[in-house]
Structure 1
Amino acid sequence: MRSVKFQFAWVSAGRLLGAALQALTLVLVARRLGPEEFGLLGAVIAAAMIPQVVCDLGLGTLILKARAIEPNNRTVAVALKLNRVTSIVGSLVFAVGVGALAFFFDSRFYWMLPLAVWVGAEKNADVSAGVLIADGRAHLSSVLLFGRRAMILLSTIGFLALDFNAAFAFSLASAGSSLVAAVVTGVLVSKRVQPARLGGVRRLLERARPYWIHSMATQVRSVDTLATAALAGPVQAGYYTAASRVTNPLRIVPTSLAAVLLPELARSSGVMSASTRKGIIALLIALGGLFAVLAAGAPWYVPLVLGSAYDGAILPLQIVLIGLVFGSAASMLVSVLQARGLQASVGRISIGSSLVYLVCLAVTAPVWGATGAALSLSLSFIVQSLLLLTRTLRAPSRLNRAREKVSA
């Protein structure tokens, strides 16, 4: 099995490069659309997370953990097959939702209909790639992710050169590139997993439910742009989209480590070595310093990168950067607790922190716009990380609890 450092290096590199390409793509689209239309696109992208998470059913995390503990278990094959079905359902639901928005509210949403294909294809590719990570083949997963993001960027540039509407160019590029990635990933994974009939679904969903609850609660934050648009208007949503979405690459390092930690700790029933613990602490300190520097320099690089029209995004960006320190800690603590068999506790904590977020957003966004949304997001990260840390300290790893059965 490849070492944690090797896996982490590949996953981080692939996700960082992919996120950088994604950020560059969004910057190009933002400059072409302007704050108002970019706010609409950002709201749709945020809303896309809803069918992705709802239709995931917790299968992604279950596959990652089950494959790590018992590679030949039929659970993985059944979950992958079920995931393909739910991905199609997610795409159809999203298409109906965007079509309704375009028909009843604003015809500009029609340009974003191709994102319906992206919703299902992206989810299917990411869940399938979990098998590669659990098998110690993170380099394959990283190459596939980088290739997908590069295709989206190049396709978007090509469509813009043909004078396509910028929102349509991005949507069409995302749909086509993710569909290709899903097919390629599926072929690679099918060679590593023994086929199985789609049976025992009820039992499978019962085991996946705690992971699903966590994902659902966490992804409530993904409606931030949509909620900000509704509460404070599309311009403020555009500012907030610039602050929250362009900073997504900064979350890649901690989430990459979390993705690698889960299967590794699952094999050891949640036992963490001293070197791993010190490495996590050192990483969080380094990220805190990086985020502080970026927050201080925001008044300089935001107008330079996005243009003067996005000056209103400076303060929200600084607030989000502070919150990301706590968000990074939360990502890693989630993996530790899930590896110890405490996924139910993780779900409850995620629900609580998301409720804090929604209440604060409803109060602050109408008053302070993008700044209020950023404050709400950061506060939810703080609450979540503190609760997860408390639960971790109260629950030392126990071999007989974490080594849960993975047979279907």
Structure 2
Amino acid sequence: MRSLRKLSRSALSGNLAALGGALVALSIATLVVARAGGPAAVGDYALLRIMPWLLAVIVSGGLASASAYFLAGPTRDDPQVRPTLIVMAVAAAVASLLIWVVASPAIRAVFFHDLTTALVAWAGLKATSRLFVITAKAASQGTGDLPGSNWLIFLEELMFLPAYAVALMFGLRGGAGIIAALILSDVATGMVGWRRLVRRGYLAGSSKPSPVLARRIYAFGMRGQVGSIMTLVNLRLDFMIIALLAGPVVLGVYAVASKFAELLRLLPTAFNWVFYPSFAKQAPVEAWRRAAWLMPRAAACTAFAAIPLASVAGPVLPLLYGSDFAGAVLPSQLLLVGLTVEGAAGVVTAYLFGRGRPGLNSLATAGGVVVTVALDLLLIPRLSLLGGAVASSVAYLATTSLLVTCFIAVRPSAPAPAAIDAGPAAPTGTLRRLIDLAVAGIALVIAGPLLLVVWLGSRISTGASGIYRQERVGEGGVPFTMLKIRSMRPGGAGPQVTVESDPRVTRFGRLLRATSIDELPQLINIIRGDMTLVGARPETVDLARRYAPELHTVFRHRPGLTGPAQLFFRWSDALDRADDVELAYLQDQVPLRVAMDLDYLERPTVGRTLGLIATTAANVLHLGRRVNVLPPSARPACRPAAGGMDDLSAGEASSPVPADGLRRAATRG
């Protein structure tokens, strides 16, 4: 908290102030346009701000988003970086203008029926002027001049007001006045930004531009810009569909709702802007830990901030914009629901760009766009404004969930020595890894609210942290930290292998074990790459060291959430009757378990993998009782007794979600 308070007093607070001022200026500008030209003018204003900007972003190949990485990251001392960025910006500006002018008849026919083709063509200068501004902001950000970048963020919206007044004074009304004001405000803002950069020595010591470096910058930018474009699409596809289906009047109302809801994006945008260059300068582990600490706190801030915004939407919007905009209230509240945890997305985006992984950000945002497109096309024709709001809200939540999943998956770690001499690691194949990420990612998104509830229940019932962490043996015998919901009281003595009657298990813990809910946090282990969906059960280090040497082969493989042995012993109560639970487990069950798991691990076909996942789901949902997973020749003569579950879980956080139902291995709660 101390570091967060320090940041809030400096760069973060400055950026929040700039963003807040910019949004106030934008709201005033929207109000002025609405009063001067009505909802239709607001619709034109919204599209004229967005479409040339989107073209500039695409043509430049993500130049603005890449600039901070190359100015603050490993290439910050390269004298070719800054002139290369300038040349790339000029080339993109010229190309954007030409493309817009050529396409202006089609753009006018689709989006701007009330404007002439000549006016639409002149709007192409907005694409050029936007690059003039956004590259100045990015250069200020990447060189550590956050106050300068904050000033530009505020100024680019504020300058529209005097520019629009000048346009009206010269008799430019409607779309002509809006276009002129947008271009003039960008030119004035860009001149301020570049003048400050030059005075601060931005070009001092620079050499000639480098084509090789330009290709690197362009490649980085394109990987990230796919995500930035997807974000713009996520935010503005509903604008375009509403414009096409309902016209500029309805779009104007929706634009007001959207802009009001996006007040909540102040904090996530500030986190992204401030932490991107700082993450680029930090060591990998330090940057990840810092982002992990910030992420839930940023999400909590946006969630709490959404409450007062939703409360004041009803009286404020009609008061500011007039009774014609009363229909914007409910859509704005629906949009706020989707933005409640956006703070986490801002931190993760900054981390992924700062660590040179913009492609993962693009992957996550692309998933959100899939949701946006599907729901927009489904809901907007039927529900108009409300359909667009619901579609966007769901897409925002999906994007944030995918970003957090990517963040977990790229956690850096120092190589640890093997705890067990198992021989060379046997990694999972690419296809199995894709299945892991797809299933675990979807399951984690769906189970997120449930995890929060059971975590709180665990904290109350055990009087300790709701998450239990324990070291387990991973791929190649290397230990990793496995997660589960705590189901046992801490501090009690007992064996590492837990059975149904273990007194350390709380009543709430028995419910969690019976439903396998306590194992859901291991989905995070799967996304990280510590575990896989199907494999041998993750063993504690102490018990693994007591395995017979010839059984260590199983530790070459990545442990699984479920597996053949775990399913087979799901209903076993044999260990309940043993005097020495650990000894009975090691002598009687471990050899059979290893044989069963290796039978799968040596032939992990897609069919067998999906079959075991489906069987696990059926068992957890109590759709089946007994599962034979071995061929007849390999099955034991002595079957486990029905009525129990896999009782060889060692440690509070063992066994996979699906397979180990009532009895889980746990050393101590």
* 1:54 corresponds to 2:58: yes
What CA distance in whole angstroms lies between the structure 1 residues aligned with 2:344 and 2:116? 36
State the partner residue of 1:302: 317
What CA distance in whole angstroms lies between the structure 2 residues aligned with 1:106 and 1:273? 50
Please report how far the alpha carbon of residue 232 of structure 1 lies from its aligned counterpart in structure 2 after TM superposition. 3.1
Structure 1 runs not aligned, ≥5 long: 401-408
State the partner residue of 1:227: 241
What CA distance in whole angstroms lies between the structure 2 residues aligned with 1:338 and 1:142? 20
What CA distance in whole angstroms lies between the structure 2 residues aligned with 1:118 and 1:95? 11
Match of 1:108 among 115, 118, 136: 115
What CA distance in whole angstroms lies between the structure 2 residues aligned with 1:275 and 1:348? 23
Please report how far the alpha carbon of residue 113 of structure 1 lies from its aligned counterpart in structure 2 after TM superposition. 5.2
What CA distance in whole angstroms lies between the structure 1 residues aligned with 2:365 and 2:238? 16
Q: Is the 8 A contact 2:57 2:229 kept in 1?
A: yes
What CA distance in whole angstroms lies between the structure 1 residues aligned with 2:50 and 2:414? 39
What CA distance in whole angstroms lies between the structure 1 residues aligned with 2:131 and 2:23? 16
Match of 1:124 among 132, 156, 160: 132
* 1:63 corresponds to 2:70: no
Structure 2 runs not aligned, ≥5 long: 1-5, 416-669
TM-score, normalisation: structure 1: 0.88
Please report how far the alpha carbon of residue 103 of structure 1 lies from its aligned counterpart in structure 2 after TM superposition. 6.4
* 1:75 corresponds to 2:87: no
Higher relative contact order (CA 8 A, sep 6+): 1
Calculate percent identity across the aligned residue pairs.
19
What CA distance in whole angstroms lies between the structure 2 residues aligned with 1:98 and 1:373? 27
SS at match of 1:108: coil
Describe the shift of the 1:329–1:283 C-alpha distance in structure 2 as closer, same or farther (beyond 3 A): closer
* 1:9 corresponds to 2:10: no
Q: Is the 8 A contact 1:41 1:112 kept in 2?
A: no
What CA distance in whole angstroms lies between the structure 2 residues aligned with 1:275 and 1:352? 26
What CA distance in whole angstroms lies between the structure 2 residues aligned with 1:273 and 1:204? 24
State the partner residue of 2:202: 192
State the partner residue of 2:222: 209
Describe the shift of the 1:239–1:109 C-alpha distance in structure 2 as closer, same or farther (beyond 3 A): farther
* Alpha-carbon displacement from aligned partner over 1:305-344 (angstroms, at most 9, x marks no partner): 1110011111111111222223343222111223333322
State the partner residue of 2:270: 256
* 40-49 or 78-87, larger mean C-alpha shift: 40-49
Q: Is the 8 A contact 1:269 1:340 kept in 2?
A: no
What CA distance in whole angstroms lies between the structure 2 residues aligned with 1:195 and 1:189? 17
SS at match of 2:60: coil
Match of 1:239 among 249, 253, 257: 253
* 1:266 corresponds to 2:280: yes
Describe the shift of the 1:255–1:195 C-alpha distance in structure 2 as closer, same or farther (beyond 3 A): farther
Q: Is the 8 A contact 1:269 1:398 kept in 2?
A: no
State the partner residue of 1:404: none
What CA distance in whole angstroms lies between the structure 1 residues aligned with 2:183 and 2:104? 15
Match of 1:139 among 140, 144, 147: 147
State the partner residue of 1:24: 28
* 15-24 or 242-251, larger mean C-alpha shift: 242-251
* 1:39 corresponds to 2:65: no
What CA distance in whole angstroms lies between the structure 2 residues aligned with 1:279 and 1:331? 10
- The number of residues matched between the two structures is 398
Q: Is the 8 A contact 1:81 1:198 kept in 2?
A: no
Describe the shift of the 1:234–1:399 C-alpha distance in structure 2 as closer, same or farther (beyond 3 A): farther
Q: Is the 8 A contact 1:160 1:166 kept in 2?
A: no
State the partner residue of 1:406: none
Describe the shift of the 1:149–1:203 C-alpha distance in structure 2 as closer, same or farther (beyond 3 A): closer
Aligned-partner residue type, residue 386 of structure 1: S
Please report how far the alpha carbon of residue 386 of structure 1 lies from its aligned counterpart in structure 2 after TM superposition. 0.6
Describe the shift of the 1:286–1:307 C-alpha distance in structure 2 as closer, same or farther (beyond 3 A): same
What CA distance in whole angstroms lies between the structure 2 residues aligned with 1:68 and 1:370? 42
What CA distance in whole angstroms lies between the structure 2 residues aligned with 1:345 and 1:175? 34
Please report how far the alpha carbon of residue 371 of structure 1 lies from its aligned counterpart in structure 2 after TM superposition. 1.1
Please report how far the alpha carbon of residue 181 of structure 1 lies from its aligned counterpart in structure 2 after TM superposition. 2.1
Please report how far the alpha carbon of residue 195 of structure 1 lies from its aligned counterpart in structure 2 after TM superposition. 4.4
SS at match of 1:106: coil
What CA distance in whole angstroms lies between the structure 1 residues aligned with 2:58 and 2:11? 28
Aligned-partner residue type, residue 59 of structure 2: C
Aligned-partner residue type, residue 18 of structure 2: G
* 305-314 or 96-105, larger mean C-alpha shift: 96-105
What CA distance in whole angstroms lies between the structure 1 residues aligned with 2:361 and 2:146? 25
Describe the shift of the 1:94–1:265 C-alpha distance in structure 2 as closer, same or farther (beyond 3 A): same
Map of 1:278-357 to 2, 5 A cutoff? Answer: 278-357=293-372
State the partner residue of 2:452: none
What CA distance in whole angstroms lies between the structure 1 residues aligned with 2:141 and 2:103? 33
Q: Is the 8 A contact 2:67 2:85 kept in 1?
A: yes
* Alpha-carbon displacement from aligned partner over 1:46-69 (angstroms, at most 9, x marks no partner): 323420221230222221011112
Q: Is the 8 A contact 1:116 1:175 kept in 2?
A: no
Please report how far the alpha carbon of residue 153 of structure 1 lies from its aligned counterpart in structure 2 after TM superposition. 1.1
RMSD: 2.6
State the partner residue of 2:560: none
* 135-144 or 256-265, larger mean C-alpha shift: 135-144
What CA distance in whole angstroms lies between the structure 2 residues aligned with 1:306 and 1:290? 23
* 122-131 or 362-371, larger mean C-alpha shift: 122-131
Describe the shift of the 1:147–1:209 C-alpha distance in structure 2 as closer, same or farther (beyond 3 A): closer
What CA distance in whole angstroms lies between the structure 2 residues aligned with 1:162 and 1:250? 37
Aligned-partner residue type, residue 86 of structure 2: L
State the partner residue of 2:167: 159
Q: Is the 8 A contact 2:133 2:186 kept in 1?
A: yes
Match of 2:100 among 81, 90, 94: 94
